Amino acid sequence: MSHVVLVLVETVNDYLPLLEREGFELILAPTPASRAAAIAEHGARIDAVLTRGPLGLFDAEMAALPLLKIICVIGAGYEHVDLQAASNRGITVTNGAGANASSVADHAMALLLSLVRAIPQADAAIRRGEWNKLRLPSLAGKRMGIIGLGAVGQAIAKRAANGFDMSIRYHNRQPRPDTPYTYHADLHEMAGAVDFLIVATPGGNATRHLVGQSVLEALGPQGYLINIGRASVIDTPALIAALTEGRIAGAGLDVFDDEPRVPDALKVLGNVVLTPHVAGQSPEAAQDTVQLVLENLQAFFAGQPVLTPVHLPDPQ
């Protein structure tokens, strides 16, 4: 029996043949209109959904998919998947934890280097015929604080510690004794003890506005902030105010509250580097992501444990 997968993502199309070659029938619906149309037309046949955190899958949509048994989320975050609704219906949810960690960690370091060393500004100045030599901070030997020491956070820490001799501190839901880094239960305390603060934690209610005015104040006017996690973790108005008033030195952002719309207040600032949510986008990451989805689907439909299950609340 062929299994039918509703594909809501738009970034891994080149690698979807990995699923098709294994017998999965795919229905592509990457826009809100095509998503609604696909559910209305094919809902009675769909038994799996491929989505990502910001796209999610909602209670009413699950109700319209009576055969739905598994939701596979690419990437680590699953903030807009209704986990309670999935639990109530006995639907398994998996995520892509770790599949794109190397790509995201590379991008985090690229943002940090570009920001601290003012690479975009230097490039733009040369193109204008200017030759400005600024004295800018080095990254070597600095102190990095990471919010969220999952696969991505650990990959960033490894690059910073081994490549730039940085000392690493981290704030996590719980300590990771299997790592050599310094744990801080108090985020404000950690922010006050580092030069670079990296957001690498998933979104959702538990982390919403975790980085607000008080954390930014603790980071201070010599501190830099990088976000390759979720925009919701940072209080954006508080960040804009801190950047505008020089209360932090700068920010590198790959994620935004209302993508693809980016606040004009951020665009006009000279102490920010902005990229369009591409940290996890690389050929290697896309292939590994789809391969993990395939392995989760194959395990599930063979009656075996999935590789990367998301913990669900108790049914109500």
Active-site residue set: 230, 259, 277
Angle in degrees, CA 281, 103, 228, rounded to 5: 80
Alpha helical stretches, state H, the chain: 17-20, 32-42, 59-63, 83-88, 101-116, 119-127, 151-164, 187-191, 213-219, 236-244, 264-267, 283-301
Q: What distances in angstroms separate CA 297 from CA 46, 72, 92, 98, 304, one per listed residue?
A: 13, 8, 10, 17, 10
Which tokens belong to 221? Answer: 């006017």
226: which strand partners?
Answer: 198, 252
> Are 224 and 115 within 8 A, CB to CB?
yes
Q: Are 263 and 240 in contact (CB under 8 A)?
A: yes
- C-alpha 246/C-alpha 241 separation (Å) is 8
- One-letter amino acid of 211: V
Which two tokens mark 102? 């190397």
